[in-house]
Chain A
């Protein structure tokens, strides 16, 4: 029987990554010179599982590396070594190395071993350098040493030495095994007859059972075993094979294994004075176990009867074996309650369907009422099912948050700052894809807050604050959105510094007047970095604009709220899912388009006095205090509209980032939820279009991508117009 172990790899990788997270979080809690037994045990278990799994599934290098990690953890666990900062750092580093090793292996690449080899060496040096405290028991790394009958080793060792070479010549002798089990051997689940069965599988056996230890009936304990055996084993057998059979019972039983050469007269010495019952056996010897053994273990008989021989039909084997799993497949772990609720929902749907089916089969107008009720129920079922299916893709944000304790610790150390991280709302759920994509922007923003926001302890004390700064990550649901806040209690963003920078870079004019809020938001502008000195953490000027762009790609927004001296709050708002969108349908000629409802500010009929033209080509409308450029969608998509005149039809004002634009359309239709179908996979990427959907009547409508439209029309022109007027 050969089983393809690669089918288990995916699960192994997943649980190993989880294990690494557990290790990392645990290590961050450990403090030098203290003993936190629960935490150390948790870390140890995680490392141990990774090592075990790696060994089992054929990732020897991971297993080897984890071994030294485990050794150190085991010393911590058994308190033979005190927890030190160096040790914690080494262990944290090992988490990184393991993560990258597993990453490579999962991707099917040959991992680069330089790092792991070097770190392993550091571990070994560390383990060797400071001797563990006294009384250290042997570390579990010792190779397996056969524990075979140390009490009797004198004879057996000699016997091996004398005979192991000649054993193969079976005609010259045989093994004589004396086996006196402990009386309670069956209470450990070890059955002597199974051991005898195994011996008989090695070669031809002659077994003698001795019954003289059986006590008188009144004192006989039915759960004890009073028999013992002498087995002569003929055949090409190594002593190790015999030892292996007795491996589990050797410590409680008296076992002697002797090589008797045929010239030896010992054969005749079989203790003839005792009550001897002789059983001759060949290969199938213990098919009938010794009678006494059964008596000693009455419950066993019953069990044996219940046990049908395990017949394996090939059919059964086939059923039990699923097809090999594709290793590259992404998978998601879903709570069983979510699946149950979905199954429940499907049940409801089936009932509704059959009810509607009945009405439809034999319809008359008096059943109209019931038909309507049925349809309402169907609508309800569908909506509930949609919500439940969506929930399946939802995972708690703790998966992303969990990387921050380590990150914050490392960065704070590097920056020489004292920073406490608070995580709030870790169980807030969001779509798995959204979560994966928000990770990097979040990291960037957290780094920024630590680097530029929170001050050094000296600066903080001078400003009358606690030396330790606080960084809070807070997640919560709001409507159909998840909001993630990154809050620091640092120095805030000084609008005047931004202003100087922006003027210096030519983004704004010296004479322009802006609100503080407006100036602060300029940090999302490409190419603006406010750091006085560029550090290796952030402040390379390729920061917040990229972050904003990433968030916009997820159909989200990011806002800033900062107060000089008190800190900043970045607020990211993301849709809970990427596959369903609240849309506004708009009509343009014969076509229907979908606008994301969240990006719409208002829709207006433009009057002539609102309109002016910039640079002779771009139409702009004056909306309260702002100039808003207008895009003629029919030009962008080259279709024939009903109204070319901007005063007819409507202008829908939408926003993307800090830009507002007007879209000239013929008419507004309904608002509805639409399921997003990817154009990339079904057709190809189209600029200005984020996807398509199928409407109730079966027609396809394109979903517009506001940010994409902006770039078509030219962000530069828009920038110049939208910045020309202050909001103050």
Chain B
């Protein structure tokens, strides 16, 4: 079972993402902000990281940079959840090491379809 780390400061988004992914058989660990996510990423290993962009304490871009720098996350898919469709934000994410992005608002089906693209 693939294990996914989902970081978002919004409780409702976390709830929705977790519910969707668990329903599809994934193992999900939630994080409430970048600092929390980084700590969890270090503590255990994940097959995929989903991260919101705008989060307190450590934003998504910083988080991606930090996670990508960890030895076991060199090749791990990291997807940004972003409402910002502007190219510069996406590029900032890519430069930080993100694999790709999912543009909010998305529905559970879109989320699953995108996730399946990056998991084996």
Contact = CB atoms under 8 A, between A and B. Distances in A.
Interface of A: 1-3, 5, 7-9, 11-12, 14-15, 42, 44-45, 48-49, 51-53, 55-57, 63, 137-140, 142-145, 147, 186-191, 194, 198, 223, 247-248, 251-252, 297, 299-300, 303-304, 307-308, 310-312, 316-317, 320-321
Given A248-B94, A297-B75, A5 B16 contact: yes
Contacts of A248: 94, 99-101
A38 to B, nearest CB: 10
A321 to B, nearest CB: 6
A223 B74 CA distance: 9
Which of A56, A142, A147, A307 has most chain B Cβ within 10 Å?
A56
26 contacts: A1-B24, A3-B19, A9-B12, A49-B54, A51-B83, A52-B83, A53-B12, A55-B83, A56-B12, A56-B107, A140-B83, A140-B84, A140-B85, A140-B89, A143-B85, A144-B85, A188-B99, A189-B78, A190-B99, A191-B118, A194-B117, A247-B100, A251-B91, A304-B120, A308-B1, A310-B2
Can you list the 6 inter-chain pairs with the closest CB atoms, starting with the nearest?
A: A55-B105, A189-B99, A248-B100, A189-B77, A12-B12, A312-B25
Contacts of A304: 120
Contacts of B76: 189
A317 B23 contact: yes
Nearest to B83: A52
Nearest to A59: B105
Contacts of B11: 11, 14-15
A63 B108 contact: no
A320 to B, nearest CB: 4
Contact of A48 (B54, B68, B98): B54
Which of A7, A190, A198 has most chain B Cβ within 10 Å?
A190
Contacts of A320: 19, 22-23
Given A42-B56, A52-B105, A189-B75, A307 B23 contact: no
Given A142-B86, A251-B91, A310 B24 contact: yes
Contact of A8 (B15, B55, B94): B15
Given A5-B16, A45-B55, A312-B24, A307 B120 contact: yes
Contacts of B86: 137-140, 142
Interface in B61-120: 68, 74-78, 83-89, 91, 94, 97-101, 103-109, 112, 117-118, 120
Nearest to B91: A251
Contacts of A45: 9, 54-56
Contacts of B20: 3
B10 interface: yes
B5 to A, nearest CB: 13
B16 A8 contact: yes
Nearest to B25: A312
